[in-house]
Copies of this chain bind each other. A is one copy, B any other.
Amino acid sequence: MATKRAQMMEETRAKLIRAARKAFAAKGYAAASMDELTAEAGLTRGALYHNFGGKQGLLQAVVDQIDREMVERMLAAQDQAANRWDGLLEEGVAYIEMALEPEVQRIMLLDGPAVLGDPSQWPNQNACLLRTTQTLQALIDEGTVKPVDAEAAARLINGAALNAALWIAAADDPRAVLPKAVEAFRQLAAGLLRAER
């Protein structure tokens, strides 16, 4: 079994990450105070610097955690699609829907890139994007999709979905624009298909 100290350590990290997700999502990275954040978790800044090295390190940990959750949900969305192409579309739609959550939007789409730099450079290697790339490559191999560069296409698809989500989230009536965005997304993605269907 894991030693008692290691258990406490993990619990501490979890508490900090939990508080950080809430604070970063609510106030944004810059405006979030480390003192308040750690106090909320029943700790002090000492624990923070010991476990994560600093404010950026904590953000990094939060980003990694959310990224893992996003991949999980994208996998689930893809699994319940009839074929691989629909799976790709469902991935995109799932991505759009996830980006509606303030936590994802603020942390992953706004502050994350601004503080940590381009997502593709993140240590976690942007698992989310990697998944889309792999799916696309498979579609190209099986002849469903035109022979374009898989990574390039994946990035464009992701970018399109991302902006769709940002748009929806900022709209007066998100529920109203969501179908419009999804429809436009499907049309756009169809451009990658090899032949008319």
Contacts and interface: CB of A to CB of B under 8 A. Distances in A.
Interface of A: 28-30, 110-111, 113-115, 117-118, 120-121, 146, 148-149, 151-153, 155-164, 166-167, 169-170, 177, 180-181, 183-185, 187-193, 196
B169 A163 contact: no
Nearest to A119: B166
Copies of this chain in its oligomeric complex:
2
Contacts of A162: 159, 163
Contacts of A110: 113-114
B184 A148 contact: yes
B191 A187 contact: yes
A145 B8 CA distance: 59
A188 B153 contact: yes
A92 to B, nearest CB: 10
B184 A149 contact: yes
Contacts of A167: 118, 120, 151-152, 155
Contact of A118 (B113, B169, B180, B193): B169
